[in-house]
């Protein structure tokens, strides 16, 4: 390894500009391994853990708990015992004197947001990445939006075009969800891709979004270059949690909503104040609660999900990511998956493995897209 290795404020997602140090898990002088969890960091959307970029000795911690620093800032350094304190100090001084924070307008500072007319709907679309290859299309879960992929888009956009779409009734898309069925939602996503001129895509979905893209892939198998289902609704031996869906819809204050959002993750501390407040603001918009209620009713009734399970063999193959600790849709039931589907368990997470274990999920998605 180099004489001194910097540990910098990570960039989790295209929109992240800064992070706040919550707690260090290793003390100065400790030996650490590459990939070892070092420090909890809070962002505007969710808390996460920063891992060591290399093996070595943690020689300096430069950001105390409570410190808020821009992406790329030096928060600690690794160096072996034979590196003198003077060398470490010189490295830190040189880094700090030359470091320039990335501004919000810098390249990679966020998704390029637009809208497309998808039949009678107007759907919000975010795009990133380079090249003209087959794009990866991300579809979020219930009551979410494209920002739910903040820890994943940048990792994939480095090698492939990326498109994130707000489902009907969600984010900045039209509030009209029709009958709220998976088929209607899938047709909306399909129409958006048609309007964008996308004839083939790597489909990636989470929860409700996973069920939607699976419905789309089953109905239009020629569209799917690959299918990745993260914590998919409808593929477990238990129904989707009606208490969660209804709780999210009906909660009017942060103290009422937060306990429901904490069910999403294995570690409740990951749920931030910003996450709660953002969802409350969204729910107060005209038509949102009605749209979410229609989708909730279809999910709870269950016939859409049952038909989806019966149609899974129409999908050539898929990557399925699940957790035994998922309290929203339940762990995937392997017996429901057709031959050729690959099931990966991430039990360090709850219902949001793409945020709770982003590095592992990103590697799986890159492998699935690469074929």
For 210-223, the pLDDT digits (tens) are: 999 999 999 999 99
Distance from C-alpha of 277 to C-alpha of 240, rounded to nearest angstrom: 24
What is the average per-residue pLDDT within 232-240? 95
Say if domain 4-98 classifies as CATH 3.40.640.10. no
Q: How far apart are CA 57 and CA 48, in angstroms?
A: 22
Q: Which of 271, 336, 279 is nearest to 309 (CA)?
A: 336
Segment 296-353, tens digit of pLDDT: 999 999 999 999 999 999 998 999 999 999 999 999 999 999 999 999 999 999 999 9
Whole-number average pLDDT of the chain: 91
What distance in Å separates the CA atoms of residue 324 and residue 191, rounded to the nearest whole number? Answer: 34
Measured CA to CA in angstroms, residue 42 lies from 104, 236, 370 at distances of 19, 32, 32
Domain locations along the chain: 4-98, 112-370
- Return d(Cα 9, Cα 150) in angstroms, integer: 15
Tell me the average pLDDT across 257-262.
96
Confidence band (pLDDT; 50, 70, 90) for 109? very low
Q: Would the pLDDT of 2 be above 50?
A: yes
- Is a pLDDT exceeding 90 seen at residue 51? no
- pLDDT value of residue 1: 45
In the chain, where do the E strands start and end? 4-8, 18-24, 31-32, 37-42, 47-51, 56-61, 68-70, 74-79, 112-118, 121-128, 136-139, 162-165, 201-206, 224-230, 319-322, 342-345
DSSP state of 46: B
User: Is 208 exposed, middle or buried, given 0-12, 13-18 or 19+ CB atoms closer than 10 A?
Assistant: buried
Which tokens belong to 49?
């853990």
More confident: 12 or 6: 6
pTM score of the predicted model: 0.80
Residue 239 has pLDDT above 90, yes or no: yes
3-class DSSP string for 290-321: HHHHHHHHHHHHCHHHHHHHHHHHHCCCCEEE
**pLDDT exceeds 80 at position 47:** no
Directed axis angle between helix 273-283 and helix 288-301, to 10°? 100
Q: Which tokens go with 275?
A: 């996450």
Contacts for 206 with CB less than 8 Å, ≥ 6 apart: 139, 140, 141, 144, 148, 230, 231, 352, 354
Q: Cβ distance 7 to 76 under 8 Å?
A: yes
Quote the percentage of the chain above a pLDDT of 70: 96
Q: How confident is the model at residue 105 (pLDDT cuts 50, 70, 90)?
A: very low
Strands 224-230 and 47-51: unpaired
Report whether 43 contacts 72 (CB < 8 A): no
Name the CATH topology of 112-370. Answer: Rossmann fold (3.40.50)
User: Which pairing describes strands 319-322 and 224-230: parallel, antiparallel, or unpaired?
Assistant: parallel
- Encoded tokens for 194: 């048609």
């Amino acid at each position: 390894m180099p004489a001194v290795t910097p540990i910098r404020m990570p960039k989790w997602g295209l929109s992240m500009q800064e992070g706040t140090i919550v707690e260090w898990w290793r003390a100065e002088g400790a030996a650490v391994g590459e990939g070892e969890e070092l420090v909890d960091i809070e962002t505007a959307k969710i808390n996460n853990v920063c891992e060591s970029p290399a093996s070595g000795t943690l020689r300096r911690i430069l950001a105390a708990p409570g410190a808020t620093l821009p992406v790329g800032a030096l928060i600690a350094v690794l160096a072996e015992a034979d590196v003198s304190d003077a060398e470490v100090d010189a490295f830190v001084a040189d880094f700090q004197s030359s470091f320039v924070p990335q501004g919000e307008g810098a390249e990679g500072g966020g998704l390029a947001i637009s809208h497309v007319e998808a039949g009678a709907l107007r759907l919000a679309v975010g795009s990133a990445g380079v090249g003209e290859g087959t794009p990866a299309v991300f579809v979020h879960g219930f009551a979410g939006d494209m920002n739910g992929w903040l820890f994943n888009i940048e990792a994939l956009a480095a090698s492939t075009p990326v498109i994130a779409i707000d489902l009907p009734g969600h984010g900045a898309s039209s509030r009209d969800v029709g009958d709220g069925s998976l088929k209607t939602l899938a047709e909306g996503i399909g129409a958006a891709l048609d309007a964008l001129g996308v004839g083939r895509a790597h489909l990636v979905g989470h929860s409700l979004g996973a069920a939607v893209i699976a419905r789309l892939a089953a109905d239009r198998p020629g569209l799917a270059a690959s299918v990745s289902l993260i914590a998919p609704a409808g593929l477990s031996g238990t129904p989707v949690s009606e208490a969660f869906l209804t709780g999210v819809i009906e909660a009017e204050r942060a103290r009422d909503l937060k306990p429901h959002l904490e069910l999403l993750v294995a570690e409740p501390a990951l749920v931030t104040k910003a996450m709660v407040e953002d969802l409350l603001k969204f729910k107060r918009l005209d038509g949102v609660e009605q749209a979410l209620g229609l989708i909730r009713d279809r999910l709870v009734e269950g016939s859409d999900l049952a038909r989806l399970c019966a149609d899974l063999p129409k999908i050539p193959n898929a990557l399925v990511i699940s957790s035994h600790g998922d309290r929203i849709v339940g762990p995937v039931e392997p017996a429901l998956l057709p031959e050729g589907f690959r099931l990966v368990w991430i039990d360090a997470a709850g219902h949001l493995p793409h945020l709770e274990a982003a590095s592992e999920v990103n590697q799986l998605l890159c492998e699935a897209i690469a074929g």
